[in-house]
Structure 1
Amino acid sequence: MTSPALRWSDLGLSPIAFHLGPLPIRWYALAFIATFALGRWYLRRLLRVDGAPLRLEQVDDLLSCVVIGVIGGGRLGYATFYQPELWAHPLELLSLWHGGMSFHGGLIGLLVALTLFARRTRVPLLSLLDYVGCATPFGMILVRIANFINGELWGRPTTLPWGMIFPGAGDDVPRHPSQLYEAGWEGIGTMVLLSFLFWRTGLRHQPGRLAGAGLVWYAVGRFMLERVRQPDHGLEHLWWGLTMGQTLSIPILIGGIFLLVPRSGSAHREPPRTAIS
């Protein structure tokens, strides 16, 4: 005799954390706020080591660029890759409270923002990617947990004992809580990997290596987890045999490998010390 499946609705979760008067404050918004706050704190800690690519007083300027890049890229990426009909209603693109963000779009927006920041401040781009990359796993953890609290982005059907029935799926079929899988691999796993490489090895002195390791780790994990994650509506059967998430992970994997492959003139060297205030 099998035990009854877990039900998301029995957990008492709600997308709304609390109200400020008539204004609902959603967990999804809090996840982004906490992401940038924790990322700022951790980045400032990373910058206290010898050879950091920028000064502490530049962090807030950098964070402003990152916020615009991640949120703008994430929203535009979602509209482009998953909900093209949003382009017919441009004002809906600004309705962030309705949800709908793409990690891959956010990554593109982040890369654009960091490139512009590096050019304006003459900070080495690859080193900047390494340090910012080490601070990004907070978002991967918190946003995926927010997805779970919202009861969205559930997984494919499963017979495993921790399968969960999500009311939004429109059926009583137990499904993988794939949001939590992603929080584990993309968030906690990436944090552990990059923290070890940053603090216990010399890779931070080889620009681009930390970013490359993080990209490869994410791409491999996302590609595999797409096998248990339910594809977005309308993207269940792409003609080339991959899901949209798997397809978008391929260029990330290639980019990560490119950053990891040794290149001429990229031998290990200690960078010049940077004055830290």
Structure 2
Amino acid sequence: MPSKYRPQIFGWFGDLDKGPYSVPLHDDRLSYANNNYCAFIRQDLNDQIFYACLSFFSIICGSVIIIGFFWLLVHHDNSKIEFIDMIVIFCFINCCLAMYYVIPKLYHNLFSRCGSPIIFNRKTGKVYVNESDFFNFKFLRHPAVFLQPKKRRIKEYDWDDLHGVIIHNMSRNALTSTVLMVCQPGTHQVIDHIMLDPIRAGAGSTFVWGWINSFMFFCDVANIDDGEYKSDQEAEFKAHRIDGQGWPEWMIEAFNATSLEALAEIKQRHNITE
């Protein structure tokens, strides 16, 4: 049975239901939570270093291949085209496509900081994201974005418009990720994607989704002291994960908004228009 969200994301494995889950967290991605909001980190520093190095090595190899192609082009006998020439051209095209894919991965891993936390406020039903603009599922990009490696996406979303799906990495390792499908209000039409929980083995990826749902539905299973920082350590959490990362001041205040009215007052005070 296909996903109910359209267009269906590549590697789709299953849709996830919203509502309280009885499964405990069993996870270390919860950084902080209090009675108003929770924050999950989505990147591990060791993974970032590994994938940044892998991407850099791939770019070096790709650059050598592309330079070699142009060298062959200059010294090639243009009077005839042989089968080997077609193979070289095919490899060149594939190398260019690979570079087009790998360069954003390098930008993403080099310029993501502090775990790229995602914030869920259960009293306003808002979700806040501050991440590298390359931390997404786009493949077709305007060439100009390659000149903006530090470009960021800072957005506020409605929890009601976010829906979880599991995607598979299509390898023998059976790794899955949880992705938030951003839909137009009241529909299943997807307009954006947010990576929630990258690359887990088997069903482990659903623990984060389950805990967040329990938290958003005020379920007791979601213990706010399960995280990296206890609920009374908000200052330490913000010093580690939030400060200096480009979060707008109004958004940081909005983390603790206790109602939509309080959120509106914060936005008005900071001259935020939607």
Instruction: Name the TM-score, length of structure 1 as normaliser.
Output: 0.25
Instruction: Name the TM-score, length of structure 2 as normaliser.
Output: 0.25
Larger helix share, 1 or 2: 1
Larger strand share, 1 or 2: 2
Larger radius of gyration: 2
